[in-house]
């Protein structure tokens, strides 16, 4: 394949303005950026277009696409119960939703996706193989993070034991808990073996597919599982991923479980670090924030999911002031309910203006672009290879058509892209120098066929009834102090 | 023109589910809704499509489109200063941005727009004439609300006098104010004459164009202006519009100006009522909310603008619980920076989940659709004629293509539409029975030509420097208690 091309006369961001330049890509690597370069390889017309480094969709769950639009208005703990009651169990669905997630990510400026992949029970390796196949076919850079846990769903809800006196901290399980927790169906050791096998079979960073260790979070994972993941991550040089303090309930649970904050506990067991990305981070104290800064961990902000589930507003401006690296994710499509990365970046950029009256702290569109690109690859150990228009870096690039109505009239192109509501603006996408979107169309898979398949594997419906929600709702409302109505 | 048509086999919302029906429109009015009706007029294939009543973009400022994407990250009072320093002064621009606003509204489900129209000084009637011409050409139902004031911009910033002791209320202007306010360039009487002339020339509700009285808000308007507007509104049966308590600064200002809340004052002078729509309503007390309920006033929620300008989160769930009618607006494109109504509805639906932990109060997608349609027309005195799929109502209708990738896989169509990120989903739009969008394209104007004109009347630029912001920023920071950095 020919990974040599030259984009001519394209707008790029420089300092506080823009420049019209040519960009040469040779063997998939940015070879030169300057006006009037010789054409190497294919000539690409960049006129009236903006070139940016690709963004990272730094946290999602691809198979949630099957339930987008229909999930009830519920907070995370109950929402998860509904989600799992109706989770897809067919590999074909995993394949289609991975493709769908990739298409929406690519057409909204993303070149990389971190898929915290929900595994079909009993078909775990097959689930991973299927998602990997989809991402390889479409050509997006994929970070597949198999979602693992070793405790059952109800263990993620606080018992409420320490509710009366939050300062009297306890650890261990409560004998008076209102819910009894079934043991998880797969042992911790078997789960770790599964991840190791996935690494052997699918971890091929040079080919654009990486496996991450990704315990779902402190709410459903034992220390043994976290420690096993740390060991695997050290042995195979894997990046680490997890949810962290997405809800108030998880904050309570951490106190019940550890007698300290979840962040303190994760630091103690050694899970945090420069290549650990942590989704959500809504309920952190100032001391927790200092720990994230000190360990150089990355926060993945999922603003739409945090709003949809009522989780709260993550203190992103505080993170940035503390020097914590922050990037953006769409989160799974059942809590968003889209995979439009530009939408996540927009809302993630402006949401925090209501949390800090001093506008000098607000995130500017240029800062948002850097958070979404360089910020994303930092936590994935690729900042030296990706995330900016820099000679020597790999060509994960996105070309935006500035003549789309949604980006007119002409003002500040990056401002329009980040703060507007761009539609049909992605003209071309390259990953590792390979073009996978041209003229606004994905070239590597047949999107019409994908739409057909998604249509025929689904049906319109209105409300569903989750049995598990019915079982646990009363306990949840009591623990969270919600009145009966 | 033929305003008779029958949409066949289309999905509509019923109770908690959906039904497949035919919808007959005769002379622009919904004549029948039932399965297998006779075809009257043109037959429209509704298969795999969803039919909803058109939404109302219930608050915007069309000419702000010229500055979208480039406005600095500033709170309202400073942002306004920058906005006015660079406001477009050409009628051609007013025309183009009215068309652009209408196109984006139509293609995101809106059939009506309330344009709180910024008037070019010295060309006020021409500005109104131009916007009216644009809306008539494209065929959207237009509520033109000429933005008027009779105090100059700096009068909208509190003097800070009562800051030390907010309970010791004062009225009147402060002699120690740090800013001196120029008198406004046009007299109150002249402004009221202008509006009356606009009513005579352009107020044609039966033809789809209405004029509203629309003092910008208590921050820049005298009681004389409000009272003159009330008088005009009574005489000509005009609906009323205004901004209300968008920012914390306006809350302070109202106390300085009136010694009571802005809502109490507006009630006292008689501006509130069933056909008064109030944009923003972020800083209201519980007593204020009770007044809105009692007067049957409508709140127009502009969530994106409120986030972008850091104004705050309007207590929408409280409004709904108090029985206040709430609908959605995009606000002007300089504070959004789009006119995508579905985006405003999505964010306006989920933003409040973080303000009330009890998910039983959260806004469901079906409630959001009702707020955006029926909620919008209520405050415009058209609830008996528009806002729902009801036999006898006018056909302001939108047909959505449910086979768009962004609305797949098939789950709950309204959930996908409201909570997802729909792109290219509007197939057809009718206003008063006239089709103005077909196959996803506006049929009444040439959108390619519009894009061309927007492109050629503008240029890419990065940061600009607003002189007025420089002049007033120090005072603003002092009054708002922001530290120097």
Contact flag B459-A403 (C-beta cutoff 8 Å): no
Lowest mean pLDDT among A241-250, B172-181, B470-479: B172-181
Residues B144 and B165 in one domain: yes
Residue A161 inside a domain? The answer is yes
In sequence order, the 6+-apart residues with CB closer than 8 A to the CB of B395 are: B3, B25, B28, B29, B30, B430, B432, B433
Residues A258 and A296 in one domain: yes
Residue B312: name the closest of B244, B219, B246 by CA. B246
Nearest CA-CA distance, residue A208 and chain B, Å: 25
Is there a contact between A43 and A5 (Cβ–Cβ < 8 Å)?
yes
Q: Is residue A11 predicted with pLDDT exceeding 80?
A: yes
Which among B309, B353, B403 has CB closest to A309? Answer: B353
User: pTM of this prediction?
Assistant: 0.96
Q: What is the pLDDT of residues A376-416, one digit of tens each?
A: 999 999 999 999 999 999 999 999 999 999 999 999 999 99
| Farthest-apart Cα atoms in chain A, separation | 75
pLDDT band at A1 (very low <50, low <70, confident <90, very high): low
Q: Which of residues 208-227 of B touch A (CB under 8 A)?
A: none
Which among B11, B337, B450 has CB closest to A420? Answer: B337
pLDDT (average), residues A205-226: 97
In sequence order, the 6+-apart residues with CB closer than 8 A to the CB of B458 are: A408, A409, A410, A411, B66
Contact flag B462-A73 (C-beta cutoff 8 Å): no
d(CA B304, CA A408): 19
Q: Is residue A105 predicted with pLDDT exceeding 80?
A: yes
CB contacts of A463 in chain B (<8 Å) are: 16-17, 412
A455 touching B, CB under 8 A? yes
Residues A368 and A329 in one domain: yes
Please tell me the predicted confidence (pLDDT) of residue B164: 44
Q: What is the pLDDT of residues B406-436, one digit of tens each?
A: 999 999 999 999 999 999 999 999 999 999 9
Residues A43 and A152 in one domain: no
Residue B80 inside a domain? The answer is yes
Nearest CA in chain A to B407: A69
pLDDT band at B463 (very low <50, low <70, confident <90, very high): confident
Please tell me the predicted confidence (pLDDT) of residue A99: 98
Please tell me the predicted confidence (pLDDT) of residue B178: 57
Residues B235 and B333 in one domain: yes
d(CA B400, CA B5): 17
Nearest CA-CA distance, residue B419 and chain A, Å: 5
Which among B74, B353, B421 has CB closest to A338? Answer: B421
Nearest CA-CA distance, residue B356 and chain A, Å: 8
d(CA A209, CA A117): 14
**Exposed e or buried b per residue across B407-425, where buried means at least 16 C-beta atoms within 10 angstroms of its C-beta:** bbbbbbbbbbbbbbbbbeb
Residue B202 inside a domain? The answer is yes
Q: Is residue A223 predicted with pLDDT exceeding 50?
A: yes
Neighbours of A366 (CB within 10 A): 17
Contact flag B409-A73 (C-beta cutoff 8 Å): no
Residue A121 inside a domain? The answer is yes
Nearest CA in chain A to B420: A337
- State chain B's mean pLDDT as an integer: 95
Q: What is the pLDDT of residues A336-365, one digit of tens each?
A: 999 999 999 999 999 999 999 999 999 999
Residues A78 and A94 in one domain: yes
Please tell me the predicted confidence (pLDDT) of residue A410: 98
Please tell me the predicted confidence (pLDDT) of residue A248: 94
Which among B71, B359, B482 has CB closest to A74? Answer: B359
Residues A40 and A114 in one domain: no
Q: What is the pLDDT of residues B92-127, one digit of tens each?
A: 999 999 999 999 999 999 999 999 999 999 999 999
Which among B308, B356, B454 has CB closest to A353? Answer: B308
Which among B460, B465, B473, B477 is the top mutation candidate for probing chain A, defined by the most A β-carbons within 10 Å of its own β-carbon?
B460
Whole-Å CA distances, B12 to A460, B176, B413, B417: 12, 61, 10, 13
Please tell me the predicted confidence (pLDDT) of residue A175: 37
Residues B36 and B56 in one domain: no
Q: What is the pLDDT of residues B278-324, one digit of tens each?
A: 999 999 999 999 999 999 999 999 999 999 999 999 999 999 999 99
Q: Is residue B165 predicted with pLDDT exceeding 50?
A: no
pLDDT band at A179 (very low <50, low <70, confident <90, very high): low
CA atoms within 13 A on the CB side of A18: 22
The conformation of residue A485, written as its DSSP 8-state character, comes to -
Nearest CA-CA distance, residue B328 and chain A, Å: 17
pLDDT (average), residues B58-85: 97
pLDDT (average), residues B136-161: 94
Please tell me the predicted confidence (pLDDT) of residue B267: 98
pLDDT (average), residues A415-435: 98
Residues B20 and B59 in one domain: no
Is there a contact between A129 and A202 (Cβ–Cβ < 8 Å)?
yes
Which among A17, A74, A457 has CB closest to B409? Answer: A457
Number of domains in chain B: 2
A459 touching B, CB under 8 A? yes
B480 touching A, CB under 8 A? yes
> What CATH number did the domain enclosing A184 receive?
3.20.20.140
Token pair recorded at residue A52: 């940016």
Please tell me the predicted confidence (pLDDT) of residue A178: 57
CB contacts of A402 in chain B (<8 Å) are: 460
B466 touching A, CB under 8 A? no
Please tell me the predicted confidence (pLDDT) of residue A162: 55
Is there a contact between B305 and B335 (Cβ–Cβ < 8 Å)?
yes
A445 touching B, CB under 8 A? no
Is there a contact between B436 and B429 (Cβ–Cβ < 8 Å)?
yes
Q: Which residues pair with B98 in a beta bridge?
A: none
Please tell me the predicted confidence (pLDDT) of residue A471: 94
A20 touching B, CB under 8 A? no
Residue A400 inside a domain? The answer is no
A65 touching B, CB under 8 A? yes
What is the side-by-side strand order in the sheet with A110-117? A55-60, A110-117, A141-146, A209-211
Please tell me the predicted confidence (pLDDT) of residue B141: 98
Relative to beta strand B42-45, strand B29-34 is: unpaired
Residue A275 inside a domain? The answer is yes
In whole angstroms, how large is the CA radius of gyration of chain A?
Answer: 22
Q: Interface pTM (ipTM) of the complex?
A: 0.96
Contact flag B450-A75 (C-beta cutoff 8 Å): no
Is there a contact between B127 and B91 (Cβ–Cβ < 8 Å)?
yes
Contact flag A447-B17 (C-beta cutoff 8 Å): no
Which among B66, B71, B447 has CB closest to A405? Answer: B447
Which among A308, A364, A455 has CB closest to B419? Answer: A308
Nearest CA in chain B to A312: B354
Nearest CA-CA distance, residue A167 and chain B, Å: 22
Please tell me the predicted confidence (pLDDT) of residue A181: 83
Residue B19 is part of which domain span? Answer: 5-47
Contact flag A405-B360 (C-beta cutoff 8 Å): no
State the alpha helices, DSSP H only, in A209-277.
Answer: 223-236, 248-258, 262-269
Q: What percent of chain B has pLDDT over 90?
A: 92
Residues B152 and B39 in one domain: no
Q: Is residue B162 predicted with pLDDT exceeding 80?
A: no
Nearest CA in chain A to B351: A307
- State chain A's mean pLDDT as an integer: 95
Whole-Å CA distances, B183 to A51, A260, B180, B220, B226: 47, 61, 10, 11, 18
pLDDT band at B174 (very low <50, low <70, confident <90, very high): very low
Q: Which residues pair with A401 in a beta bridge?
A: A49
d(CA A144, CA A276): 14
Residue A407 inside a domain? The answer is no
Q: Is residue B170 predicted with pLDDT exceeding 50?
A: no
Residues A43 and A93 in one domain: no
Contact flag A420-B359 (C-beta cutoff 8 Å): no
Residue owning tokens 């025929």: A456
Residue owning tokens 């599964």: A194
Residue B281 inside a domain? The answer is yes
d(CA B438, CA B429): 7
Nearest CA in chain A to B11: A460
Nearest CA in chain B to A49: B460
Contact flag B462-A65 (C-beta cutoff 8 Å): no
| More confident: A89 or A182 | A89
Residues B13 and B141 in one domain: no
Which among B248, B360, B420 has CB closest to A485? Answer: B360
Contact flag A455-B403 (C-beta cutoff 8 Å): yes
Please tell me the predicted confidence (pLDDT) of residue A165: 44
Relative to beta strand A209-211, strand B29-34 is: unpaired
B461 touching A, CB under 8 A? yes
| More confident: B157 or A227 | A227
CB contacts of B69 in chain A (<8 Å) are: 365, 407, 411-413, 415-417, 419-420
Q: What is the pLDDT of residues A433-485, one digit of tens each?
A: 999 999 999 999 999 999 999 999 999 998 789 999 999 999 999 999 998 65
């Amino acid at each position: 394949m020919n990974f040599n091309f030259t984009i001519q006369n394209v707008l790029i961001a420089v300092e506080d303005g823009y420049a019209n330049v040519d960009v040469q890509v040779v063997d998939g690597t940015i070879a030169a950026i300057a006006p009037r370069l010789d054409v190497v390889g294919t000539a690409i017309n960049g006129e009236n277009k903006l070139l940016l480094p690709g963004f990272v969709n730094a946290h999602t769950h691809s198979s949630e696409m099957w339930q987008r639009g229909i999930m009830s208005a519920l907070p995370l703990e109950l929402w998860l119960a509904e989600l799992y009651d109706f989770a897809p169990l067919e590999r074909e669905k995993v394949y289609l939703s991975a493709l769908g997630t990739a298409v929406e990510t690519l057409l909204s400026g993303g070149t990389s996706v971190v898929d915290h992949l929900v595994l079909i029970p009993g078909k775990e390796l097959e689930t991973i193989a299927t998602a990997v196949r989809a991402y390889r076919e479409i050509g997006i850079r994929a970070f597949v993070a198999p979602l693992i846990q070793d405790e059952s769903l109800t263990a993620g809800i606080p018992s409420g034991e320490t509710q009366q006196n939050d300062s009297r901290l306890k650890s261990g399980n409560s004998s008076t808990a209102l819910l009894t927790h079934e043991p998880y169906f797969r042992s911790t050791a078997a789960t770790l073996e599964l991840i190791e096998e996935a690494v052997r079979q699918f971890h091929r960073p040079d080919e654009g597919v990486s496996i991450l260790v990704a315990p779902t979070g402190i709410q459903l994972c034992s220390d043994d599982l976290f420690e096993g993941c740390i060991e695997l991550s050290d042995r195979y040089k894997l990046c680490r991923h997890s949810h962290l303090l997405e809800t108030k309930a998880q904050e309570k649970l951490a106190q019940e479980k550890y007698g300290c904050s979840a962040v303190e506990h994760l630091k103690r067991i050694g899970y945090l670090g420069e290549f650990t990305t942590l989704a959500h981070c809504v309920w952190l104290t100032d001391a927790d924030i200092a720990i994230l800064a000190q360990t150089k961990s990355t926060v993945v902000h999922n603003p739409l999911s945090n709003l949809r589930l009522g989780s709260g507003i993550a203190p992103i401006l505080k993170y940035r002031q503390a020097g914590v690296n922050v990037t953006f994710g769409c989160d799974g499509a059942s809590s968003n309910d889209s995979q439009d990365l530009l939408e996540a970046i927009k809302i993630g950029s402006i949401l925090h203006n209501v949390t800090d009256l001093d506008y000098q702290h607000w995130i500017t569109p240029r800062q948002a672009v850097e958070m979404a690109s360089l910020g994303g690859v930092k936590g994935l150990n690729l900042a030296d290879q990706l995330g900016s228009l820099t000679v020597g870096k790999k060509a994960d690039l996105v070309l935006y058509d500035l003549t789309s109505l949604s980006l007119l009239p002409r003002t500040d192109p990056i401002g329009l892209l980040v703060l507007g509501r761009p539609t049909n603006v992605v003209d071309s996408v390259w990953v590792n120098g390979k073009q996978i979107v041209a003229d606004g169309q994905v070239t590597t898979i047949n999107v019409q066929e994908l739409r057909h398949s998604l249509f025929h594997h689904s049906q319109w419906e209105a409300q569903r009834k989750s049995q598990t929600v019915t079982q646990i709702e009363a306990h949840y409302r009591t623990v969270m102090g919600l009145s009966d109505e």
